[in-house]
Amino acid sequence: MRGARSSLHNWSRRALLYPAFAVLALVVIGGAFETVMEAATSNNPPPGGRTYLVAGHSLYLRCRGSGSPAVILFNGLGERTPSWAWVRGDVERQTRVCVFDRAGQGWSGRAPGRQDAHQLSADVRGLLAAANVPGPYVLAGHSVGGTYALAYAMDYPKDVAGVALLDSSTPYQFDLSAYRSFYSLWTRASALLPTLARAGVARVYSFVSFSSFPSDARRALRSFSSSPRELRADRDEFAELRTVFRQDKALTSLGGKPLFVLTADLGQLSGWPAAQKRLAGLSTNSVQKTAHGATHAALLEDRNYAAVSSRAIDAVVRSVRTSSPLAW
């Protein structure tokens, strides 16, 4: 700034440079703040969970409760194991429930590279085998996690007893014109997020996020959401979704396995209800219900709507245990 004041006698040139100097100063301050916060903040996994070596990389798994069938929870994009705090707490009173972080995310180790649906399914199968969690399982997925659950059911059908999809993405997501536009926009925007996180911008946002979760889950999720590493993982996963959805199209039927499709009705894309109905058609033993007044995120984040999600999972568990038609 001193150089600009002494060397540039044209005010218009200084007027162009001063805003740039201000932005650089904010980046420096934000970067220093983020570096200090990362060094001073710990985000250790809660008791009861651990990592297992699977195909050369470590994956985090936490199981609670007892009984069968075990419920395996699949995170949506940007979600980590603490995102299931409300749902997991409900389901573990009925049966064993396990949550995990995909490679490169949360408390799991570095990913070996970009992973498609089949590679992720193989990871999950190896993880459950390493942890001695016997199947067959009830799979439950929220958002993109639903398509990963379907991929697992496609690749390992004998391991799957039933499925619960909580406002799940669909293999035909790109048939929705609004989603194609969103995907194109967010692909570019998500590339900037890790850099913004290094400047402390994401941490400022995280301070006012996740307030509806229990305190331990809230702290962990805020730490994850402000981490450049986690945002890079989200960016890479988002870029792979087109491949994942295409691969999932190979699953045409779950037969008569119980399938519960729970759909939120606020803030949805045009054509979303029809897409959810199409998901329910994957099984001859399915139920589709709408969580009226719920947003996409509320099915995990809001305590009351998370209870509705838990009921949907419990319904599948009961159907498997009793070999009876799925009922709400």
- Residue 39 CB-half CA count within 13 A: 6
pLDDT value at residue 32: 60
d(CA 200, CA 226): 8
Residue with tokens 């009921």: 311
pLDDT means per 10 residues, the chain with 328 residues, are 68 66 60 55 79 95 97 97 97 98 95 90 98 97 98 98 97 90 84 69 67 93 89 91 96 97 93 94 97 97 98 98 94
Instruction: Outline where the chain has alpha helix (H).
Output: 2-7, 11-40, 85-91, 117-130, 144-155, 177-190, 193-198, 201-206, 215-225, 228-239, 241-248, 272-280, 298-301, 303-322
Cis peptide preceding 69, ω within 30 of 0 = yes
d(CA 107, CA 105): 6
Amino acid at 88: R
In Å, what is the CA distance from 243 to each residue of 117, 168, 173, 234? 8, 17, 12, 15
pLDDT value at residue 29: 58
pLDDT value at residue 22: 61
Burial class (CB in 10 A: 0-12, 13-18, 19+), 43: middle
In Å, what is the CA distance from 93 to each residue of 64, 89, 170? 9, 7, 30
d(CA 210, CA 128): 29
Residue with tokens 């900037």: 192
pLDDT value at residue 95: 98
pLDDT value at residue 3: 72
d(CA 160, CA 149): 10
What is the largest distance, in Å, between two alpha-carbon atoms of the chain?
84
| Nearest alpha-carbon partner for 63 in 77, 47, 83 | 47
